Structure 1
Amino acid sequence: MNSKYLFKKIVQSLITLLIVLTVSFILFRAMPGDPVRMFIKEGLPPEMVKAMKKNMGLDEPWYVQYFIYIKSMLQGDFGDSFSFRKPVMDVIWYRLPNTLLLAVCAQGIAIILGILLGTIAAAFRGKKIDVTLLGMALFIYAMPAFWLGIVLLSYFGVQLGWVPLFGMETPGREYASTFAHVKDVAHHLVLPAVTFGLAITGSYTMIMRSALLDVFTEDYINTAKAKGFNRKYIIRYHALPNAMLPMVTIIAINLGFIVAGAIQTETIFSWPGVGTLTFKALGARDYPLLQGAFLITSFCVIGANFLADIVYMYIDPRIRYQ
């Protein structure tokens, strides 16, 4: 194992984390509006308003708030949510599994479709199927996930009635067994996961196609052709394993960005995850909850990037032994 490479990546991750902590502090306090005014009635005496600001920690100068904030973050204390009146981490941990469920299912759909379609497009480069698949990938890649979700929801949910329109489970339904509950959740999960998965399939398809086309120009591919191996064998045993190097990196990095990007899909389908929680906190100017959600998703991105670096070190001997 390359210890210098590993140490370098750890330091980079810690520096990135510190930058994220600072940006989140500045960003949410630069938002217009007074969070105290969101939760008090008009006509309250100034003394009560001042007491609430002190209770929320908003009466101190910004630099004092910053150092208190950094100290609390290092101790794992994200404070209390202004709107939920509960510890921020309790609110987030309750919703995070729902977001991870959606993100993992969407990622699985995108990986399978992206690798399959990208391989087919590369294998038939320049032909109609390649042009068609590449055009579809570009169209999906450019399409906003929000718009795609509305279109799919309108057709499959409203017109055909095949899938539920919102939520994670049927409101008021009593389940006879755990299996019945899981089945209902899966039924609600189908459309959000497919929507989110399709939104990132386009990029995976183009990356896989490009990686395979690069591999096809390598000498060992020409050697395999000269030995008489058919195209299917060459793609499966020679091209695909090497083309997966950039794909593994992109997939690992996207694990974090998918969690961060779930807000649009969750909002469209009213999926009770961190995305909808962030949207509500934004409207309520709930600084602690916004910071907590922002930091959790940032941790996912930073952690996924670090994981990608570690995986790449193991699969690429040039890095492992340099």
Structure 2
Amino acid sequence: MTADATSASVGGRLTTAYPRHVAGKVAGAAVSLLAVLVTGFFLFRMIPGDPVRFMTGGRPVSAGQLATYRQEFGLDLPLWQQFTDYCGKALTGDLGTSYQFNAPVVDKITEALPNTLLLTGTAFVIYTVLGILLGTRSAWRHGRLGDRLNTGLALVLYSLPSFWLGLLLIVTLSVGIGPLPGLFPTGGMESGGKEGLAYAVDVAHHLVLPVVTLVAVEYGQTLLVTRSALLDEMGSDYLTTARAKGLRDDLVRRRHALPNALLPTVTLIFINLGRTVAGVILVETVFSWPGLGGLFYQALTVPDLPLVQGLFLVFAAAVILMNTLADLIYPLFDPRVGR
């Protein structure tokens, strides 16, 4: 069989197998989303606290008034009926009304989503690029001092709790230590009263510490995955052939080794991209960032069941969607996956 015939045979198998691969992954995503819907409903009803008592603001109320509140929000219905109502509405895009804000859950999520995307999206781009660059450099010079320092620092930072690192940065760079003054705001997204360019600069100023926290904690994972994958490729015959052709070491790394080594990193990038929508609850809480993570923490303290369930569903759906896209794109890099 000629090389052209072999290539056509492989391409034909991929063409026929890929639709089945897509159908299987989409079906799996739908089942996962249904499981999230069920889990989110029952899980958060185990949280201690009475949302009706919260809505009264601690004022003394009669049993009749409490019963009216429960009836208004459907909390007097049997649990199975609450569940069927919740599923039916969720499938139509209605996630209910927030107890504490007295507003549609979808509106609250839409309002906070851009703030989360600004924070975690900025951090995502920085720690992804930084992790790939440093991981590539460490793998190509593995065993040297720079490699040991890079991997050691990445492991230390990756193991740190993000909220602890955030508090440490607030103490040192916001509050200040001794003669060192605070350089950044302690929290929030803006100081208020600014417009135009001054507003953009103010938001960027508030963005520095939470982004640094996320980058410091997250870049190590990308670095370690990229380094490990590239080390596996470095002994391959095609790299030896490329060097024998007289290609510079830098070209061999960038044009040949790195594209093949990035396959595991692509999956990790899509997973992290899904987590970008979810945000980082603890970091947003520590820095009082008005995003989905901070909103989720507020909802848990009530508990605001519709808001908690809606946010949980959005978080999980984002991760499931990105994982599914990674599974669908992966065969384009490695046709063996889609067979």
With the length of structure 2 as denominator, give the TM-score of the two structures: 0.90
Name the SS for the 2:185 alignment partner. coil
Q: Is the 8 A contact 1:118 1:206 kept in 2?
A: yes
In the TM superposition, what is the alpha-carbon distance from 1:179 to its structure 2 partner?
A: 2.2
In the TM superposition, what is the alpha-carbon distance from 1:32 to its structure 2 partner?
A: 1.4
Query: What do residues 254-311 of structure 1 show as CA deviations (whole Å, max 9, x unaligned)?
Result: 1112433511111111110011111111111100011111111111111111121122
Matched residue, 1:213: 231
Matched residue, 2:318: 300
Gaps of 5+ in 2: 1-14
Is 1:179 aligned to 2:197, yes or no? Answer: yes
Q: Is the 8 A contact 1:21 1:70 kept in 2?
A: yes
Q: Is the 8 A contact 1:108 1:197 kept in 2?
A: no
Q: How does 1:306-321 map to 2 (within 5 A)?
A: 306-320=324-338
In structure 1, distance between residues paired with 2:249 and 2:170? 40
Query: What do residues 182-233 of structure 1 show as CA deviations (whole Å, max 9, x unaligned)?
Result: 2221121122112112211010110010011011021111212233333222
Residues 58 and 290 (structure 1), Cα distance of their counterparts in 2 relative to 1, 3 Å cut: same
Matched residue, 2:132: 115
Matched residue, 1:16: 32
Name the SS for the 1:185 alignment partner. helix
In structure 2, distance between residues paired with 1:192 and 1:33? 31
Matched residue, 1:228: 246
Matched residue, 2:119: 102
Matched residue, 2:142: 125
Q: Is the 8 A contact 2:280 2:293 kept in 1?
A: yes
Q: How does 1:61-76 map to 2 (within 5 A)?
A: 61-76=78-93
Which runs of structure 1 show a deviation greater than 6 angstroms over 4 or more consecutive aligned residues?
A: none
Is 1:31 aligned to 2:47, yes or no? Answer: yes
In the TM superposition, what is the alpha-carbon distance from 1:42 to its structure 2 partner?
A: 4.7
In structure 1, distance between residues paired with 2:158 and 2:97? 38
Is 1:134 aligned to 2:154, yes or no? Answer: no
Q: Is the 8 A contact 2:270 2:326 kept in 1?
A: yes
Matched residue, 1:46: 63
In structure 2, distance between residues paired with 1:43 and 1:163? 43
- Which of 191, 201, 211 is equivalent to 1:170? 191
Is 1:91 aligned to 2:108, yes or no? Answer: yes
Matched residue, 1:249: 267
Name the SS for the 1:29 alignment partner. helix
Query: What do residues 39-63 of structure 1 show as CA deviations (whole Å, max 9, x unaligned)?
Result: 2245422111111111111111111
In structure 2, distance between residues paired with 1:17 and 1:303? 9
The code of the aligned residue for 1:34 comes to: D
Query: What do residues 11-70 of structure 1 show as CA deviations (whole Å, max 9, x unaligned)?
Result: 000000000000000111111121111122454221111111111111111111111110
In structure 2, distance between residues paired with 1:32 and 1:165? 31
- Which of 96, 110, 114 is equivalent to 1:79? 96
In structure 2, distance between residues paired with 1:34 and 1:147? 30
Name the SS for the 1:284 alignment partner. coil
Name the SS for the 1:167 alignment partner. coil
Over the matched positions of the two proteins, sequence identity in percent amounts to: 44
- Which of 257, 278, 286 is equivalent to 1:260? 278
Select between 309-318 and 127-136 the one with higher mean Cα deviation: 309-318
Residues 174 and 232 (structure 1), Cα distance of their counterparts in 2 relative to 1, 3 Å cut: closer
Q: Is the 8 A contact 2:210 2:287 kept in 1?
A: yes
Name the SS for the 2:89 alignment partner. helix
Matched residue, 2:12: none
Q: Is the 8 A contact 1:28 1:291 kept in 2?
A: yes
In the TM superposition, what is the alpha-carbon distance from 1:155 to its structure 2 partner?
A: 2.0
In the TM superposition, what is the alpha-carbon distance from 1:101 to its structure 2 partner?
A: 1.1
In structure 1, distance between residues paired with 2:269 and 2:194? 38
How many residues end up aligned between the 2 structures? 318
With the length of structure 1 as denominator, give the TM-score of the two structures: 0.95
Q: Is the 8 A contact 2:113 2:277 kept in 1?
A: no
Q: Is the 8 A contact 1:109 1:198 kept in 2?
A: no
Q: Answer with 1 or 2: which has the greater Rg.
A: 2
In structure 2, distance between residues paired with 1:42 and 1:232? 71
